[in-house]
Structure 1
Amino acid sequence: MSPDEMHALLTSLIDGWENEVVEFKEAARQYSADKTGEYVSALSNEANLRGAHSAWLVFGVSNSRQVTGTTHLESVEKRQSLKHHVQQSIDQGLTIREIYEVERDGKRVLLLEIPAAPLGIPISWKGDYRARAGESLVPLSLDKQDEIRKQTINTDWTAEVIPNATLDHLDPDAILRARQGFAERYPRLADRIHSWDDATFLDKARLTLDGGITRAAILLLGKNTATHLVSPHPAELTWKLTGAESAYEHFQTPFLLTATALAKRIRNVQLRLLPPDELIYREISKYDERSVLEALYNCIAHQDYRQRSRVIVTEHIDRVEFISVGEFFDRAPEDYMLSERVPRSYRNPFLVTAMTELNLIDHLGSGIQRIVADQRRRFLPMPDYDLSDPTEVKLTIHGAVIDEAYTQLMMVRTDLPLEDVLALDRVQKKMPVTKEAVARLRRAHLIEGRSPNLHVSSVVAAATDTMAAYVRTRAQSDDFYAKLVMDYLTVAGEASRRDINELLWDKLSDALDDSQKRNKVMNLLTKMRRNAQIRNAGTRSKPRWMLA
């Protein structure tokens, strides 16, 4: 928004004052991040129930409607940190859409724009669904939860019958492939399927409704000349190659055939991995074909077709990214990685049912588990789900080693629980790891270092033959550094702070940044002075350190 638009918005919000979708806080200096998260849950749910595009949480305005100003979230880093914190604890991955700064009479006001909960998905904060009762923060009642969850009933875009569509708009080869998939799912019917005419088969496969051709049937089986029947949706899958070489290609219907054609565009060379203490390489494919198709079929099955966007598959030199529009519909990806959890509902239940009947996907939510298992079996990094943009889901499947120590550890420790594998994967990617996971990995001697600078431990280093890298990041004891300083002073007689910095700098852990290294040296010298090992013969600003 422009400054004038932000000023006008602030004025209108103050004039309308607090309600179910607007909340003001004075927050002169700061405000609890957890309390902010509760308001995000409540305001998002209320915006959904009232048909609002956004809700607003405003900092820097008092209860008397006076602009008092705030110093809360002054830096870009703090604002991004709050967004990340909220997204980590909102169970559906939703977060603050934008944080606007407005100057009013020389005082700073913050406008936090909170997106409405997606259709059919109530938003919870750390497992609790929040709502508003007037200006108060309250639990989201069961009837409101049901009201949100029922929003997708009878609004399934893929289930709509197309009035002018006929069997002639369907591709014969796609129908033949569909019959094969149906026979694979129902082997006992294999002998009877060939006797069904197309209309009967499509009805059995849940692709038609009372003989009418649905949008799901056109997406999966429609000729590429029939995409006008689902216009203005583009009905396309796009493959894009980036890097040293670049290329792209669009694939239209029938998705049942063109998804496989797109998957074959992805270059799938062989990788050679050398296990620890072995002389023979193991060869694996860069990408597991089943995982690539699983990811692509899930994009087709679960994207929000009302947004009129294509599925985009981007191939990089070391990974493939799959992007489909629409938020992650039920819970979070981690829920399906670690448990046998079954989805409670789907955005496109009609399309999901049809794809299940054709043996393309299943109803049990095990697709994510299969991709995780395939990556673990091949010793490569775990898949990443990026939900930072609440309007889309981005899945990344890695096709290269990120950290050789992690890959070799997977070869050695095939007994590790999946939750530890996922946590170690986050460590190798320098991603945040929960305190509980850090504590668990420390107890197992799998990691060392201080958060967020975690690194591979000596036990793992020995197992993976990366001791050199471990030594560079492992912190030595204070006695080790004190002995170096004492030896230096014995020879040189005295040393400035700069001399001691130069002595210790490259011997301190690589996991420390420059500021942390300076603090480490300062604390070491203070400790040695208090222990009567050294004394300062100079001044505080220009010390001359000597043996005591």
Structure 2
Amino acid sequence: MDHAALSALLNQLISHWESEVVEFKRGKDGFSSSDLGKYVSALANEANLRGRERAWLVFGVDDKKRDVVGTSYKENPTHLEVDKNSILSGTGSFTVREIYVLNHPDGRVVLFEIPPAPRGMPINWNGHYYGRAGESLVALGQDKLDEIRAQTLATDWTAQLVEGASIADLDAEALKVARQRFAAKHANRFKAEDIAGWSDVAFLDRAKLTQNGAITRATLLLLGRAESAWRLSPHPAEITWKLEGEERAYEHFGPPFLLATSQIFSRIRNIQLRLLPENELLPHEVAKYDQRVVLEALHNCIAHQDYARSARIVVTERLDRLILENEGTFFEGQPDDYVLGDRVPRRYRNPFLINAMTELNMIDHMGYGIQDIYRRQRERFLPLPDYDLTEPEVVRLTIHGRVVDEAYSQLLMQQTRLPLADVLALDRVQKHLPITEDAVRHLKQARLIEGRKPNFFISARVADATSQKAQYIKSRAFDDYHYEELVVGYLREFGHASRKELDDLLRKKLSDVLNETQKTHKIGNLLSALRRKGRIRNFGSTASPEWRLVE
């Protein structure tokens, strides 16, 4: 927001003066983090109740004279950013949307933009809920608390009580781990020995898994005994892991999901990859799959699954990637909105389950999980994840476990401080996906890509010398995965292909180091590999093959 827009906004707020969703303060140096958190809780809850898109806390305005007087509150921008994290820590899952600084003629003004509390999820500060009575900060009344909580209770599948269920239906080990996770999440609020002394009923209510001691569907999903899963019928309450390729296997995992996700990760073949930086003798060794990335993705599937559709979550392991699928559209916005950290979700499909998983430190519900997945994959020099939303009511996430284009990985190893926006664009280039004209212009100016539209490729600055660039591009061999995906993409587009058509597709793209006979053998080996993996099949004859997809 520019200076003119901020000035107009401030004038508008002052002209309407204080209400339950706007608070003016002088904001002296001594304004405490505790008071800041209380006001954020109050203003967020009131904005929810009044259907407002935002609330405002404004420092630098005299709340009696209604004049701009300026504020010296945290003049270092870094200290203002610390406020965001401080609020997030005190609320457990919520913080301000943005902090604006306006250099007004009458003094410096700081404006905190506060999003409304998500539907069904009142915001607390250190365990206490706050609201407003006119211009006064007060405890949030029980009637207001109930009003917010009831907003989605009736439609939230995970919030429904399970008739006849009791603590006896919960897994003892899952309950133990849940206490440990809760203690780690709230180490600054509760002592571990105090949490250990709570009764199971008290703990489950504190962890937002139960309602006044009554077992919910969320309780059974996260902590339920496998033998009690029938209480969730007709929902299958399953996560299926399946291995595809030369070897095939599968296994179904039911509740408690708190433990099941780690069990699923242990099934995944997770070898070490060796990536050799340019002009270095010692390779980088990274795991094929990062545990935190996979668990974050799995937990997102659990949190955002549309349970009313009675479908299972599916994790497919292929030779070079993991594919995670859950039912239900992306509920708020698009994946790209969260990758760069610009979007904070305001609504959730399963707010009760989201709250419980947040308390158990399984997810955050500020939208940072997706950004963390991308960041960690980037730091391991591997391709970024891909979201596929083309199938109605399905979210499909692919996590790559293999280098696609060596130039991409080399570039990330050489330039570790590239902005994430640039890495996202380079990742699309290596996967032969389109990028915007602005991105093309920027990457070319930075000499990160070469070529002409639509055939861009990552710059060959990793080659030994500038004079060798042309030869480098002609002679470098792509990873087999790259060629296999070209075949799969062709078959997906046209349905079938003869051997000649696939030869024409691949021959010019293979390294110039290979002679024509070697290229013929190479293409044959690629097709055989895809057939063994169960991805394509010859529906014709040996003499006149007709290749088609089988996935």
User: TM-score normalized by structure 1?
Assistant: 0.58
Distance 1:447 1:267, change over 3 A: same
Per-residue Cα deviation, 1:479-499 (whole angstroms, up to 9, x for no partner): xxxxxxxxxxxxxxxxxxxxx
| Distance across 2 between alignment mates of 1:208 and 1:465 | 68
Q: How does 1:135-174 map to 2 (within 5 A)?
A: 154-174=154-174
Partner of 1:543: none
Residue matched to 1:271: 273
Structure 2 CA distance for aligned equivalents of residues 464 and 250 of structure 1: 54
* Equivalent residues in 2 for 1:152-301, closer than 5 Å: 154-187=154-187, 188-301=190-303
In the TM superposition, residue 471 of structure 1 has moved relative to its aligned partner by: 3.9
Do 1:408 and 1:464's aligned partners in 2 also have CA atoms closer than 8 Å? no
What amino acid does structure 2 have at the position aligned with 1:317? L
Partner SS, residue 368 of structure 1 = helix
**Pairs within 5 Å for 1:16-27:** none
- Distance apart, 1:434 and its partner CA: 1.5
Instruction: Mark the CA change 1:289 to 1:471 in structure 2 (over 3 Å): closer, same or farther.
Output: closer
Distance 2:350 2:467 in 1: 49
Structure 2 match to 1:447: 449
- Give the distance between the partners of 1:271 and 1:346, measured in 2 at CA: 37
User: Is residue 343–residue 365 contact of structure 1 (8 Å, CA) maintained in 2?
Assistant: yes
Matched letter for residue 433 of structure 1: I
SS at 2:227 equivalent: coil
Residue of structure 1 in register with 2:344 after alignment: 342
Aligned partner of 1:542 in structure 2 is: none
Q: Deviations over 1:325-364 (max 9, x none)?
A: 1011111111111125321111100000000001111121
2:309 maps to which residue?
307
Which residue does the alignment assign to 1:367?
Answer: 369
Q: Is the 2:243–2:317 contact (alpha carbons within 8 Å) kept by the matching residues of 1? A: yes
- Cα contact 1:252–1:258 (8 A) shared by 2: yes
What is the SS of the residue equivalent to 1:395? strand
Q: How far has the Cα of 1:414 moved from its partner?
A: 1.1
Amino acid at match of 1:407: S
* Matched positions, count: 332
Question: 2: distance between equivalents of 1:425 and 1:337?
Answer: 13
2:356 is paired with a residue whose SS is: helix
Q: How does 1:481-496 map to 2 (within 5 A)?
A: none
Identity of aligned residues (%): 57
- For 1:266 and 1:327, how far apart are their aligned partners in 2? 26
Q: Which residue of 2 aligns with 1:516?
A: none
Alignment of 1:465-480 (within 5 A): 467=469, 470-472=472-474
Matched residues in 2 for 1:464 and 1:253: separation? 58
- Once the two structures are TM-superposed, the CA of residue 506 in structure 1 deviates from its matched residue by 8.3
In 2, Cα distance between the equivalents of 1:448 and 1:152? 51
Q: Taking structure 1 as reference, are residues 324 and 467 closer, same or farther at Cα in structure 2, changes over 3 Å only?
A: same
Deviations 1:415-466 (A, max 9, x none): 2111010000000001121122111111112112222211123545558998
Q: Which runs of 5+ in 1 are unaligned?
A: 1-118, 121-149, 475-504, 511-548
Aligned to 2:427: 425
Q: Is the 8 A contact 1:318 1:399 kept in 2?
A: yes
Letter aligned with residue 424 of structure 1 = L
Q: Which secondary structure state, in structure 2, belongs to the residue aligned with residue 314 of structure 1?
A: strand
Q: Which residue does the alignment assign to 2:24?
A: none
Asked if structure 1 preserves the Cα contact closer than 8 Å seen for 2:407 and 2:460, the reply is: no
In structure 2, the CA distance between the partners of 1:322 and 1:158, relative to structure 1 (3 Å rule), is: same
Cα 1:275–1:388 change in 2 (3 A) is same
Q: Could you say which residue in structure 1 is the equivalent of 2:115?
A: none
The separation in 2 between residues aligned to 1:348 and 1:297, in whole angstroms, is: 13
What displacement does 1:321 show? Answer: 0.8
Query: 1:153 Cα shift?
Result: 6.2
Structure 1 pair 471–237 and aligned structure 2 pair: CA distance change class (3 A): closer
TM-score normalised to the size of structure 2?
0.57
**How far off is 1:189 after superposition?**
3.2
Q: CA RMSD in A?
A: 2.7
> Do the aligned partners of 1:405 and 1:464 also contact (CA within 8 Å) in 2?
no
